[in-house]
Each structure stands twice: as structure tokens, then as C-alpha cells.
């Protein structure tokens, strides 16, 4: 498994507050620069990287010359609001020195549960990666407080890994990996069941500036494992950590995926997700989807029904009404009614905008036969 990590072409790299602060608790710009150098190394080696970074509260506290983490949520949110701009400024100047653009993405966990927002966030991040920019994600602390309260972005990072269909999720923290109470470092966790067994023997570690401990990391790891994404938990103070992970070295703790990423998604699409409508296609489009493994384009659509919206699951049927595929649709019913039968190149002039060429992208489609 370790050796296969050099084939992981899309990483979500979660940078914890502890990685960005000194032992005295102050924000350490030099640590951020080292992280950025590693991200640049990865990008130059053909890896797309989405950074999920904490540190806004720590930077806000530093700015206000506070040494103790505030105890009320509004004060924490205020610190984050002061620190977030500075955090992005630090990322932007470090990345731009290496010739890259950093892009701020503020997300909330409940926002990602909304299909429309999920698809919007996904499309934006895909577009940024295509442009060669580096998305830097944090929780939108003004409107959401889940991570401030519990997680230091651990759960958010797992959700982002799911969102962008990452091939690897890396948690960088100030510890070498997953330790048991007796200080044994666990190098490999093979399954969610094994993880559950270990969970009651975690080595506790508390820090003044963050709340996310090993518990939330393990919860997040479980989510990622179940989505088919491997996770490496490693020490962000090691200035070559990303390079070492990429080379397949035995660093940190590796959590094996419980299933294949594509099969987890395909299973969900085929069995769990409920369909909000139907798109009927001509024989050419049916062949393109089934035999040629292509995406669904508007040109092959004959009609549609149901009140589906952007990001909903739709059934795809042939003229006889047989459902042969399901997928996440990029356009609402109202939009499909206007563009059905039309070429992708005509979408922008008909709607006044074009979200994507595909009605349903191949990656979001499962053929049922």
C-alpha cells in the first residue's frame, strides 16, 4: 500500500494549528513556509493538492496578544475573523513567491450537506485545480462552529477529501502518528473495525490553542476509510514529510481504505441515493454511456421529468422507459428543458451561462446493467 501512494495524484493535506505554531503557541510563519514548499514540491511532481488549513484562531490570538484561547464561541469566531485574512495573506505570499496562486475557500459542514452547495464547491475547486491554483480551505467560522468546538478541521478535511474525490488524505500534526496509551506508534490500521478496537486506547494529548485531539482525527479517518480514501497521519514538523510519504516511506500512521473509492461512490449512487427525476435519452446517448463509458451530454436527451435540481440524483432511461443508469446532474429540470437536444457549445448562449459541458459527468454516473 505504501508504494502505491506515489500514484495518488490528488491529495487533501490538512494542516493543524499545532503545525503552524511554536511550542510557545505563537504563529510561526516559517512553519507555514515549509509546508508551502512541500505543497509546491508535490505540485511540481504532478500531484494536485487541496490544503485544509487551521490557524485562523491562533493568528487572531497573536494579533490581539492573547495567550489563552477564548472560552466563548463569539470570541473564538472573532479571533478567527481577525486571523483568517492574515492566514490567507501568509499562504498567498508564500505560494506566489513560488509562482502559484492560493485561493481561499471557506466551507461549513452543513453547507456541504446541501447538494447545490456541494456541487458548487466541487466545481469551484475543480476549476481552481485546473488553473493550477492551490485551494486553501478553512471552516467559515463566522457562521459555523463545529470545528472550533470539536475538531480543528479534522472532520471538514475528511469531507473535503470526499468532495474532491481525493486519492490521499494527509493529516499533518505535531505528533509522529497514532499512539496508543502505552506510547506504541501504530504504523498501519487495516480496517475501520481495527480502528474501533484501538479507539479506547488512545494516548491523550491536549494543547492550549486547539481542541481537535486524536479522537476527532480517528472519527475523520473512519469517514475517509469508508469512502475508500487512504489516510496518512504524520508529523508536520518534518520538513520533508510530503516527499517521504510520496516516496512510500514508512512514516506516520497509514489508515487503509475499507473499500475502493470508486466502488463506494458507485454503490451509493446505485443503491442509497434517492432519485429526484428522470432523463430519457436516445439510443446514441445510451450507447455512449453504456458501451463507450462517456458522460451524458444534452444533445442525446429527449425529455425529462421530476423536479430535480443541480446536484440531485437522476435516473437515466431509454425510450422504452428502462432505467439503465443513475447520476448526479449538473443542471436543474428547468435548465435541461431548455438545453435538451442541443450541443454543449450552445448551452452558454441558451442559458446565459454554462456550468459544464456534461449534464452528468462520467465520474458521477453509474451504469446499472
> Which residues make up the interface to ligand GLU (CB under 6 A)?
17, 54-57, 80, 138-139, 141, 147-148, 152-153, 210-211
Residue 324: how many CA atoms within 13 Å on its side-chain side? 20
Nearer to ligand GLU, 88 or 232 (CB): 88
Residue 224 neighbours by CB distance under 10 Å: 25
91 contacts 54 by C-beta, under 8 angstroms: no
Q: How far is the CB of 209 from ligand GLU (least distance, A)?
A: 6
Nearer to ligand GLU, 54 or 299 (CB): 54
| CA 345 to each of CA 1, 310, 349: distance values in angstroms, whole numbers, following the listed order | 43, 19, 8
Nearer to ligand GLU, 141 or 312 (CB): 141
How many angstroms separate the CA atoms of 81 and 60, rounded?
Answer: 7
Q: How far is the CB of 362 from ligand GLU (least distance, A)?
A: 34
Q: How far is the CB of 251 from ligand GLU (least distance, A)?
A: 24
Q: How far is the CB of 117 from ligand GLU (least distance, A)?
A: 18
Q: How far is the CB of 223 from ligand GLU (least distance, A)?
A: 18
Query: Residues 6 or more apart from 335 whose CB is under 8 A from it?
Result: 310, 351
Q: How far is the CB of 171 from ligand GLU (least distance, A)?
A: 13
Query: Residues 6 or more apart from 312 whose CB is under 8 A from it?
Result: 115, 275, 276, 277, 328, 329
Nearer to ligand GLU, 27 or 179 (CB): 27
Nearer to ligand GLU, 65 or 271 (CB): 65
DSSP reduced 3-state for 106: strand
DSSP reduced 3-state for 28: coil
Nearer to ligand GLU, 151 or 327 (CB): 151
Q: How far is the CB of 200 from ligand GLU (least distance, A)?
A: 25
Nearer to ligand GLU, 139 or 312 (CB): 139
List of E strands, the chain: 10-15, 48-53, 102-107, 134-139, 168-173, 178-179, 185-186, 188-189, 231-235, 253-255, 275-281, 296-297, 301-305, 313-317, 323-328, 358-360, 365-367
Cell of 308: 430535480
Q: How far is the CB of 291 from ligand GLU (least distance, A)?
A: 47
How many angstroms separate the CA atoms of 81 and 56, rounded?
Answer: 7
Q: Please, what is the end-to-end C-alpha distance for the chain in angstroms?
A: 31
| CA 316 to each of CA 268, 270, 285, 354: distance values in angstroms, whole numbers, following the listed order | 16, 12, 10, 21
Nearer to ligand GLU, 85 or 248 (CB): 85
Amino acid at each position: 500500500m505504501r508504494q502505491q501512494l506515489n500514484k495518488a495524484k490528488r491529495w487533501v493535506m490538512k494542516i493543524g494549528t499545532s503545525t503552524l505554531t511554536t511550542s510557545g503557541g505563537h504563529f510561526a510563519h516559517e512553519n507555514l513556509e515549509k509546508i508551502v514548499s512541500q505543497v509546491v514540491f508535490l505540485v511540481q511532481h504532478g500531484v494536485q493538492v487541496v490544503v485544509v488549513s487551521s490557524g485562523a484562531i491562533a493568528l487572531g490570538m497573536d494579533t490581539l496578544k492573547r495567550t489563552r484561547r477564548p472560552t466563548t464561541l463569539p470570541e473564538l469566531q472573532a479571533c478567527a475573523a481577525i486571523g483568517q485574512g492574515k492566514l490567507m495573506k501568509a499562504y498567498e505570499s508564500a505560494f506566489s513567491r513560488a509562482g502559484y496562486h492560493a485561493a481561499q475557500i471557506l466551507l461549513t459542514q452543513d453547507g456541504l450537506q446541501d447538494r447545490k452547495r456541494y456541487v458548487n464547491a466541487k466545481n469551484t475547486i475543480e476549476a481552481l485545480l485546473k488553473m493550477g491554483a492551490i485551494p486553501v480551505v478553512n471552516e467559515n467560522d463566522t457562521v459555523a462552529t463545529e470545528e472550533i468546538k470539536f475538531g480543528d478541521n479534522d472532520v471538514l478535511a475528511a469531507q473535503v477529501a470526499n468532495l474532491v474525490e481525493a486519492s490521499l488524505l494527509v493529516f499533518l500534526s505535531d505528533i509522529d502518528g497514532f499512539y496508543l496509551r502505552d506510547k506504541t506508534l501504530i504504523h498501519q490500521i487495516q480496517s475501520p473495525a481495527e480502528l474501533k478496537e484501538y479507539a479506547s486506547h488512545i494516548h491523550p494529548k491536549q494543547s492550549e490553542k486547539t481542541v481537535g485531539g486524536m479522537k476527532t482525527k480517528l472519527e475523520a479517518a473512519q469517514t475517509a476509510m469508508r469512502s475508500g480514501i487512504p489516510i496518512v497521519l504524520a508529523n508536520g514538523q518534518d520538513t520533508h514529510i510530503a516527499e517521504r510519504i510520496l516516496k512510500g516511506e514508512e512514516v506516520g500512521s497509514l489508515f487503509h481504505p475499507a473499500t475502493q473509492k470508486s466502488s463506494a461512490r458507485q454503490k451509493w449512487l446505485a443503491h442509497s441515493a434517492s432519485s429526484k427525476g428522470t432523463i430519457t435519452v436516445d439510443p446514441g446517448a445510451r450507447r455512449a454511456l453504456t458501451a463507450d463509458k462517456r458522460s451524458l451530454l444534452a444533445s442525446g436527451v429527449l425529455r425529462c421529468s421530476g423536479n430535480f435540481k443541480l446536484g440531485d440524483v437522476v435516473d437515466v432511461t431509454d425510450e422504452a422507459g428502462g432505467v439503465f443508469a443513475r447520476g448526479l446532474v449538473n443542471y436543474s429540470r428547468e435548465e435541461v428543458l431548455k438545453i435538451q437536444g442541443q450541443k454543449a457549445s450552445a448551452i452558454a448562449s441558451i442559458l446565459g451561462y454554462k456550468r459544464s459541458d456534461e449534464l452528468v459527468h462520467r465520474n458521477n454516473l453509474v451504469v446499472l446493467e
